[in-house]
Amino acid sequence: MTTALRRLRNYIDGEFRDAADGRTTEVVNPATGEAYATAPLSGAADVDAAMAAAEAAFPAWRDLIPAERQKVLLKVADRFEERAEELIAAESENCGKPIGLVRSEEIPPMVDQIRFFAGAARMLEGRSAGEYMDGFTSIIRREPVGVCAQVAPWNYPMMMAVWKFAPALAAGNTVVIKPSDTTPASTVLIADIIGSVLDELGHSRGVFNVICGDRETGRLMVEHKVPAMASITGSVRAGMQVAESASKDLKRVHLELGGKAPVVVFEDTDIAKAVEDISVAGYFNAGQDCTAATRVLVHESIHDEFVAALAKAASETKTGAVDDEDVLYGPLNNANQLKQVKGFIERLPAHAKIEAGGEQVGEKGYFFAPTVVSGLKQDDEIVQHEVFGPVITVQPFSDEKQAVQWANDVEYALASSVWTKDHARAMRMSRSLDFGCVWINTHIPLVAEMPHGGFKKSGYGKDLSSYGFDDYTRIKHVMTSLDG
């Protein structure tokens, strides 16, 4: 007997709808490898409808005083708390994530981030008015950019949706957001939450729209004439394609792309504490995090001791079922990602050594063992390219100069960390590391008040913080004559 698949639908102008042409795609639970739902495979007609709804809703939403937009977002945050168990269940099924970790590590920061941007809505700052030419006064207006086309990734589909819609709505923009085709469930649920709040407070539900689909759907969104801005969190390849598509009509683009975070461990580090923190930061969410601590550079004097301790930590790290409270991470998100991670291991050069893990685990689903690889050279594929899996590489360095050189010698520049008791050295390293974030004696904590975003092929624009809020605004100069 076959279990009927749940039907997910687009959310356009306050209504849940199938794709106009009826096309669907199956959604698979990565913990089981089995389909549990279908989602629309949206095409041009669906994109047109969503953009029209957002465009129609924009003037009234833009013209609200900030306090009214704040009320909406604060109520959304409250509703996230009230419906937390529904969100947790949806995200766990979406991604195979451990239920307890979604509850403790994702719901609280998401609620906090929504409330942060609710406050930011009332802090639209500009330079003070002044006279810069005799007889004239200049003022600065900070305004929303318009309709925002947003594409969220599959590694944190729920949280990344929050990072996108919260600043956009707070600034007065309207939104059309597309979740990944492998993880649409939680974003569709978010649409139900936001739509109900907009309705209760008397605002157009066209302010927030969700369309499901694949890369072609995303391309149609970015190339559509209506959006003033395109925002994507995804791969470098996807970001380049979005930038190219958006350039055809000069849309503003916000890109948060890949990472290859260096973790620089000096000889004065407390090895046991560093290994404990780095293993969690490397394996959390199955290493499917652009900031994951997966590229360790350790001083040669403590290299062997560090590798042995890290391999032991890997062997004690558990992956498995969503309801197992001892599990640190769940499966890789999809079959293609499992194939990619396996490929990196299969292509390791002869001089590399697998110290722990290195294989798929479990009889079903896309689980991969916590892995440590040593003996690598700087130009090896696994050092230079993002694995996006539970794989930590380790290289020995001889001195601070070499550590900086190797740390910066990748195409990505999102996040990094330095581990040392020497304050002056930590300050030198934070200056020299060419990454958007440098953590010192820690790795991966994020707060709503501080920006997240990188350089080079990690993209441009910031998420979180007032800087992320500013990205969703435009600046207008107004000049008036004092002659009346």
Please give the Cα distance from 356 to 297 (Å, whole number). 17
Q: Measuring CA to CA, which residue among 193, 210, 77, 69 is closest to residue 149?
A: 210
d(CA 24, CA 35): 13
First to last CA, the chain: 81
- Residue of 279, 268, 309 lying closest to 420 (CA atoms): 268
Query: 151 CB contacts (<8 Å, ≥6 apart)?
Result: 177, 178, 218, 221, 222, 230, 231, 232, 233, 234, 238, 242
For this structure, is 256 an active site residue? yes
Q: What's the rounded Cα separation, in Å, for the pair 268 and 191?
A: 50
E-strand ranges in 145-271 read 147-151, 174-178, 208-210, 229-233, 252-256, 262-265
Cα gap 63→72, rounded to integer Å = 14
Give the SS3 label for residue 436.
coil
In DSSP terms, 231 is beta-bridged to 150, 254
Element (H, E) at 139: strand 136-144
Query: In the structure encoding, which two tokens stand for residue 307, read together?
Result: 């590798």
CA distance 68 to 201: 9
Question: Beta strand pairing status for 174-178 and 147-151?
Answer: parallel
| Active-site entry in 106, 256, 355, 386 | 256
**Number of continuous H segments (helices) and E segments (strands) in the chain:** 16, 25
- Of 95, 212, 290, 437, the catalytic one is 290
Nearest 5°: CA angle at 304, between 303 and 305?
95
Tell me the C-alpha to C-alpha distance, in Å, between residue 218 and each of 6, 165, 458: 23, 16, 19
Strand 391-397 versus strand 437-440 pairing type: unpaired
Q: Which residues are the active-site residues? A: 256, 290
